[in-house]
């Protein structure tokens, strides 16, 4: 009497929906916090950077620019597996 019982399989990374993966959840949370930060900071700030002297730009544009620079640097410096 060799009966196989079908036990429910645990979801693996391959068949788990993307919206249930921890990396996706953390990324979405960070993205929402970033968007809130951007939308709340449209006031102008003074920027003195090399050849630009005392320029007035929205703080949100600075946050977006520095975030893009950080993303590119992180993407270029990612660890090899």
Is the pLDDT at 72 greater than 60, yes or no?
Answer: yes
Give me the pLDDT at residue 54, please: 80
Across 18-38, average pLDDT: 90
Please provide the average confidence, as pLDDT, over all residues in the chain: 82
Q: Where are the domains of the chain?
A: 18-47+54-76
pTM for the whole structure: 0.61
Question: Per-residue confidence at 55, pLDDT binned at 50, 70, 90?
Answer: confident
Give me the pLDDT at residue 53, please: 77
SS3 assignment for the chain: CCCCCCCCCCCCCCCCCHHHCHHHHHHHHHHHHHHHHHHCCCCEEEEEECCEEEEEEEHHHHHHHHHHHHHHHHHHCCCCC
């Amino acid at each position: 009497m060799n009966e196989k019982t079908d036990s429910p399989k645990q979801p693996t990374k391959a068949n788990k929906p993307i919206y249930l993966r921890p990396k996706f959840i953390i990324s979405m949370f960070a993205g929402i916090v970033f968007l809130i930060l951007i939308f709340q900071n449209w006031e102008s700030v003074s920027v003195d950077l090399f050849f630009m002297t005392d320029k007035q730009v929205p703080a949100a544009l600075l946050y977006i620019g520095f975030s893009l620079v950080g993303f590119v640097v992180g993407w270029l410096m990612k660890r090899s597996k």
